[in-house]
Chains A and B, each alone.
Chain A
Amino acid sequence: MKKLRIYKKLVLPGCLALVGMLSSCSMFDDFLTVYPTNQITSEQFWEDKNDLTSVVASCYRQLTTDGVSQRMFVWGELRSDNFLLKSESDEDIKNIMNANLLPTNGWYDWSSYYRGIGLCNLVLSKGPSIIGKDPSFTQSDWKPIAAECKTLRALYYFYLIRAFRDVPFNLKASDTSEGARNPMPQVPEQTTLTYLINDLEGCKDDGMTNYGNDAFNACRITKNAIYSLLADMYLWRAAKNTCPDSAAKYPGMAASDYAKCIDCCDYVIKDKLYQFQKNKKRYYGYGDDSKTPLPMFTPSTMGRIEDNEYGDLFGSKGSLESVFEIAYDGSNNSNNGLVTKFYGGMSGSTFKIGLVGGSALFQDVDGKPDLQSHAYSKTDLRAAESIRYVNNADAASNSFQVVKYIAQGIEVLDGTNVLKKDAGQPDNVNYSNIRTQSNMDANWIVYRVSDLLLMKAEAIACLYPDGDPKLKDAYDLTYAVLDRSNPAILPTDKLKYSSYGSAKSILDFVMRERQREFFGEGKRWFDLVRIAMRDNTTENMLNLLSAKYTTNASAIKAKLATLNSLYSPVYKNEMKINTALVQNPAWVVDETIVKN
């Protein structure tokens, strides 16, 4: 009887325990699965096409961050002969300008680029799984998105390669901590570049041709953008493989790369030309029909010169002449930190200068085009597009400001002397709608038609030997770019093909034209590196750089004597964590300098 009572008493706890044990395994797991309450997790994400495109948007947005965009300038142009330092407020920028490249310099932190690469990798890995989940999303919808992300990834990597040469190469989308701390060694430039080129070759025809509006056609990756990037990469690889060592290793590769570069450029030029012709009415002028038509705007030459091409490309943005540009809207989403920091902009009612200003090459003009003492001739509108010369009493500190991207419209009163500096005269150049620093909505142009023209010219000049009639094409293309910016040139000052006898002289002309055309667009340093790679020495390049280094020149020349010195040091903080990285030998710092 007593036993039974005990038994009865134990029934309830016993049952509870039993139920508890049975349900425990799955129930406890459910109980301990707590999703964050104020964020979406990957388990709930990646459901449809919208999820996919919003991460694609992040791949683009990463380009607009200061971490990426400012480095496009620092790695691509800061060290070149285009600029002098205007403000010493940024010690690290000052060091780079003085050819004092320290591994501790934060500008060599490449994390923002890999963040962008990681986002592209993520889209590429998750995309195929959406095809099954979202019935409205098919393989043919996926292909252009995949091409878009592959191109963006290649663009990120192409900047890294040009700045650092050998970099870690990661194509894996990481989403867990598994192996995240493993060291990741550098991969030779050739390997990375070849992979990226093949990757883009595989998807170049998947690219979108029309997103339905001018803005997206300019600021998202189109088929033209893929071809442009390919052309640029071919040009780079060809220059790299010109030196005897590489040429022996990869025989014939340089020549075939130049040819492919030309093909890619042709594709874009042809397509742009077609669009220009199609929209002939919409776009009033695109060159002189009497010459070989080229898809470019020309300035109006009725009295005062309205610089249409500038206004279209840099002012109203999303121009037909542009191939790919990084979008900023200055208010809702993003401010162009690159332009604000390095060039300046309006602040209140004053024009604030950024960290850099034009170097001696840009501080005056020559009488005729393509003389080498200065970049521009007196009739070259691009003198006014690049540098703002302030013609007043205390101009010394304010003159030679970079104005590209900041002004939205340029009008020149007297095209025969663009930088007229007569005291007491009103300014010869009118800048309209100067962008403010707090509302810097200038799109950053990565590729535009003139770049394609000049890439093609460069490839031709490198590919064909002296005397080859093909060289004339290179000259013509380059001349066309020069000519459209010199509307008021006197016929006697016009250049003649006969004065450019050799392939070398044409190539030099092309490179000088590139400098004139792309001042302030983050390209000049990479141009100089290509020159040095083709020369297999930095000597000629250093002669060009001499405009910049007026003091301490011999020490700097000694520092930059090797080709390695053209590439940046690997950031020290990164090396501490990624132990597999090897420092660029040109910038290995002796940690124990002993004075005696």
Chain B
Amino acid sequence: MSTMNKIKYLLLLILCCSFTFTYAQKRISGRVWSPQDGPAMMANVLEVDANNRIQASTTTDMNGNFSMVIKNTNDMLKVAYIGYRPWESKIGGTTIFKIQLESNVKRLGPVTKKAYRKVKSNGLSIPEREVSVATQTLDMDEMKGLSFESADQALQGQIAGLDVVANSGNLGSGMSMRLRGVTSISGNQDPLIVVDGHILENYSKTSVDLQDMDNTEQFANLLNVNVEDIKSIEVKKDASACAIWGARGSNGVIEITTRRGVKGKTKISGNYYFTGSWQPSGMKMLNGDGYTMMLKEAYFNPQQSDLTSNIVELSYKRDRTAYYANYNKNTDWVDAVTQLGQSHKYYVTINGGGDQAQFRISGGYDHETGTIIKQSLDRFSTRMTLDYIVSDRITFSSNFALTYTKNNRNYTDILARAYASMPNKSITRWEYDPNTNSYYDTGEYFKMYPAANGPGNVQDGQTSYYLRDQVDRVQWEVDHWVGYGNPVAIANYSWSKVSDYTITPQFQINYKLLGKTADKTMLDYQGEVYMNATSSSSDAYYPAILSSDTWTGNINRSGNSNNRNLAFTTTHYLTFTPKLPKDHTFMIMGRAELNTSTGNSQSLATKNLVGGITDPTVNAYLTGASTSTSKDHSLNFSTSMHYSFKSKYALDFTLRADGSTSFGKDNRWGYFPSISGRWNISDELFFQPLKKYVDLLSFAPGWGVTGNSPSTTSIIYNKYSNNSAYGFNGNYMSAISPDNLRLTTVRWEKTKSWNLGFRLNLLQDLLMFDVNIYGKRTSDLLQRDVAIPTSVGYSKLDYDNVGSLKNNGWELNMSTKDVFKTGKFSMKFRFNASQNHNRISSMDASVLSGINGDFDYKNENYLSRVQIGNALYSIYGFRYKGVYRYGYDHSGYFADETKNALYGSNTAAAAAARGENATCPIARDANGNIIFDADGNPLRMYYNYGSTNYQFAGGDVIYEDINHDGQINELDIVYLGNSNPKFNGGFGVDFKYGNWTLKTSFNIRTGAKVVDRARMHAEDMRSNQNQSRAVNWRWRKNGDITEIPRAMNEQAGTSFNALASDRYVENSDFVRLQYLQLTYNFNPSFVKRWGLGLRNLSFACSANNLFCLTKYKGVDPEHAAYKYSPAFDDSQTPVSRSVTFSVNFSF
């Protein structure tokens, strides 16, 4: 039987049981009035049964009279009228009712009832003061008036222990989040995102590219939830809080709760935001003149020859009219591709309801343009919630959300190209007019001519051979492009569009089977059905106009990929709360969840399309086509228990059993238990004396297990693929071969963790502290593509368990209520801080050596390396020690004195005698003494002696010879730090004066090292890329003291000035002003007087990322790390600075 059928059947049963029928009928009538207003017109008159379920209803006429047929005389008659207190009475034998309503303006006397705020924890609703797990909640009402693209931005700097780093400042590129460090090396390292109890799966992410799930340019999934719809975000940190998510919870859980309707008069509110954003200023690049000088030197230095005399693009020759005016500019490419980004957001909600039903409908539309030209994002989102209370026992709820996002991206990373492009090149093409002997601007974008096949003087219509990397040539894969082209033209003519529809309907029924309120034994059932239908498509086009390739070459390319996914989840809860003697509370919940998903995707790529056509389905040269389908099931059961005594001692237990299709029969089920407790010390008798100052002191220890399973399915089967055919001359045998080894031994990755939580509230909750200390140990780390001895017949296992990881850390979260209250003035503080220490504690030696490749002795390549005892994201490289001031012949240490005398006092020996910097490339032993050869001459420093044999020269970078063997080789590579933050935190101060509020929020992140590859490319003078102005301080002649080596173009000769070293490893410590917001709320009474029906009106002005205090030399210190590799700055678009104005009003 198909699963769908089973579920339908189940639902039908549930629906049936909620209908019961009674038949006694009788007619009643009456009049409703009030002493103040006379007859109540259009008042609701209802017959309700014992469960508060409506049996019959009517409304009163103009005179307040009503008449209706009732079903049961035992029912109650209720009358509801806006502005009056509800009236009710048993019907009994009465047939004519005279009902007098009372105005509800009348105040009731004070009633004190001790009740604690209840929160949902592990599926149970328990008082907040009994919560024994580590969580932190962000109330989105506090964020009103701030403009965020998605919820992760709002979380940045707010949650202790959550490290949120922007992937890039491009629109829709999302954030990378790490909660309490990294516990997994395969698959996703981001926390699980849960919206209203259901996992927000990123189908477009997983189905597009399984090998590279963390690709920064993926669709940011959180865009599917409009920030305005979010009521609160709860971050679940420790194992006890996440255990209910079992196999999905090991990276932590972020639970988003959306807003629902509230009882009351229908209220319409609207928001409008306008945001202007711009990029922080980046590296100062050379202008055209400085670039030409630098490049000529870079070509001259390696061979001391005039290779560049033939590079017409650098020669400014007036007689080469095809080149002169196109290569004599001072173009600021970065300026040409950046702009003031603008965003308009409109958001409307309608919200209201009565006792029986509450609803909320919201609609939002955003239009944003990026800080890089030609980027834009449009989003339409709507969400409808409805809660229908059928009776005291039965409630139906639904939540229906639809999001459509369309993201117009650049075809490639425009900013990186802008940084690399030749600044003496013109943006538009200049044409020579021989009649006037002058040049005019044609207005077309300038496209470099096709590159010549070899060095030498070129004819008109060719680009010099050495500059071929500047010519437009883009490979289909965005990340492996070569050639920088004309960034402005590329941004304008090529495109990449991603659009995504997501529909998530959710239906829920709650049924109280036994008691209706807490004073009786309760057994509550909750059933949910949730669907997630996603359809996304991406298109890209790169026209011939940008390419100097031939017509048969790789031009006019177009690609399209589509994928669709439908997931269906049903969840059933049964909660039992027995009535126990006073002071004891016990609850137990059982939950079963079943999930099925199916998906399909297809992609198509063509080239040589006929000009103007961008659709890849037309007849052209097909370069790639694929389709795939997928199907997955999962099943899980969980139970959680809560017991408390006098609300002073609480104990929680959770167990989840996860069934996964990724494992064979023996390992199919993973069990994830957790246990936690809480002791409210401040409730103890002995604590009484301190009670005056201390409101709450609690201690909550917890322990639990969470896990992770392989993210690909069907790895437990031997899969067979078509392998073409064997034979010739028309005789063939078709071939099929197996692709993989079936995984039978892979186990669940498990993270065992403990947490000690302390809470302290002082001075009537004026100061609140929440401290957590934790330790996590992940064992059976899952690794993708584990290499095996190839003599098995296969080279890898899809997955295996390979090692273990450790994370330890602490978190502090502090907040205050209004302090320093004087008159209308008050202020609030928030502060959070956290530290996490990550360490790889073990890994199989063969896996390690499989991951750790040999150093390739090439420039610009950092080793990708995993080392036991070090953290993930570690950086390894040489130590940079400056630049050799003197060359070998200027050493002054030769046996032959005449050779020493040749350069007079301009030698290292003379400089050493003067006590100056006397670096020169000669080998020294551990004591710093020069090593001499048999002839008495100093030994020269070599790079990789015996293989590369490069002799270091004056102006070359000095790498520390760690082992003093007179050469620089892989044995001199050392650990240079890692990209994990040492300290992470945020703080904010909110000021309030009357109707004015000023909110601030800062984010601090220290200790994370970033490899500034953007600066490496902009300072190494090895390529034709434009360089930063720092290279003006480059070494030019013996005796120069500088930090910047000589210019050595790689095409003209070998040099090793850009080896992986700490020269480019930078501290990314920063303090960022996350936002600053000023709001003015009009007095409701004041607004009401305008008579427009307005209820509330507020204006706000906020600035995001206004400044960032950092010593980081790149544009932006925020860079995310993935898998093993550290964080690299590749001049991704930085997070922009922005100013937002917003209006918020309601009717």
Contact = CB atoms under 8 A, between A and B. Distances in A.
Interface string A174-191: 111110111110000000
Interface stretch (B660-668, B1083-1091, B1115-1123): B660-668
Contacts of A431: none
Given A32-B633, A61-B723, A219-B727, A596 B931 contact: yes
B35 interface: no
A576 B725 CA distance: 35
A595 B514 CA distance: 86
A267 interface: no
A476 interface: no
A177 B727 CA distance: 33
Contacts of A441: 728
A41 interface: yes
Interface in A223-247: none
Contact of B738 (A42, A111, A572): A42
B939 A596 contact: yes
Nearest to A183: B789
Interface in A12-33: 12-13, 16, 20, 28-29, 31-33
Interface stretch (A51-59, A454-462, A524-532): A51-59
B402 to A, nearest CB: 27
A54 B738 CA distance: 11
Nearest to A115: B793
B724 A181 contact: no
A428 interface: no
Contacts of A114: 790-793
A36 B720 contact: no
B743 interface: yes
Interface in A540-596: 572-574, 576-579, 592-596
A594 B965 contact: yes
Contacts of B795: 111, 115
B552 to A, nearest CB: 12
Contacts, number: 254
Interface stretch (B295-303, B307-315, B346-354, B846-854): B846-854
A508 to B, nearest CB: 37
Nearest to A168: B791
Interface stretch (B71-79, B276-284, B729-737): B729-737
B743 A596 contact: no
B717 A117 contact: no
A276 interface: no
A54 B733 contact: yes
Interface string A428-453: 00000000000001010000000000
A206 to B, nearest CB: 19
A371 interface: no
B632 A34 contact: yes
A136 interface: no
Contact of B800 (A10, A28, A177, A214): A177
Interface string A89-124: 000000000000000100001110011011101100
Given A111-B790, A178-B745, A594-B965, A327 B719 contact: no
Contact of A41 (B718, B745, B925): B718
Chain A CB within 10 Å, residue with most, of B724, B732, B738, B792? B792
Contact of B720 (A41, A327, A329, A595): A41
Contact of A177 (B723, B797, B850): B797
Contact of B525 (A13, A60, A61): A13
A148 to B, nearest CB: 11
Nearest to A571: B790
Interface string B630-646: 11111100000000000
B788 interface: yes
Interface in B694-743: 713-714, 717-721, 723-739, 741-743
Given A38-B628, A110-B790, A114-B790, A32 B659 contact: yes
Contacts of B720: 39-42, 45
Categorize the interface residue count of chain A. 35 or more
B443 interface: no
A248 interface: no
A572 B594 CA distance: 48
Given A32-B635, A183-B789, A333-B726, A595 B967 contact: yes
Interface residues of B, number: 85
A475 interface: no
B787 A577 contact: yes
Q: Which of A214, A318, A576 has the most CB of B within 10 A?
A: A576
Nearest to A120: B793
A9 B746 contact: no
Given A32-B668, A170-B791, A333-B726, A176 B735 contact: no
B951 to A, nearest CB: 13
A416 interface: no
A121 B665 contact: no
Interface string B886-919: 0000000000000000000000000000000000
Given A177-B742, A443-B728, A32 B717 contact: no
B945 A593 contact: yes
A576 B846 contact: yes
A328 interface: yes
A71 interface: no
A576 B574 contact: no
B789 A333 contact: no
Contact of B661 (A33, A38, A45, A214): A33
Contacts of A332: 724-725, 732
B574 A13 contact: yes
Contacts of B721: 39
A593 B967 CA distance: 10
B744 interface: yes
Contact of A184 (B628, B733, B791, B939): B791
A45 B412 CA distance: 44
Interface string B308-329: 0000000000000000000000
Nearest to A9: B513
A463 B945 CA distance: 50
B735 A61 contact: yes
B789 A578 contact: yes
B728 A318 contact: yes
Contacts of A334: 724
Contact of A593 (B726, B849, B850, B946): B946
A396 interface: no
Nearest to B3: A31
Nearest to B723: A58
B602 to A, nearest CB: 11
B786 interface: yes
B977 interface: no
Contacts of B965: 594-596
Given A115-B793, A115-B794, A174-B741, A10 B734 contact: no
Nearest to A12: B17
A329 B741 contact: no
A42 B718 CA distance: 5
A388 interface: no
B715 to A, nearest CB: 9
Interface string B842-870: 00111001100010000000000000000
Nearest to A44: B720
Given A51-B736, A61-B723, A176-B745, 14 more contacts: A10-B523, A34-B714, A36-B719, A37-B630, A53-B733, A60-B726, A114-B792, A167-B791, A216-B727, A318-B728, A318-B729, A577-B788, A577-B849, A595-B965
12 contacts: A10-B513, A34-B713, A39-B721, A167-B791, A174-B792, A177-B797, A181-B789, A183-B846, A219-B727, A219-B728, A577-B789, A595-B945
User: Which 7 A/B pairs are nearest by Cβ-Cβ distance?
Assistant: A118-B793, A111-B790, A57-B735, A576-B849, A578-B789, A36-B714, A58-B737
Interface of B: 3, 10, 13, 17, 513-514, 523, 525, 574, 592, 594, 598, 627-635, 659-661, 665, 668, 713-714, 717-721, 723-739, 741-746, 786-795, 797, 800, 844-846, 849-850, 854, 923, 925, 931, 939, 942, 945-946, 965-967, 971
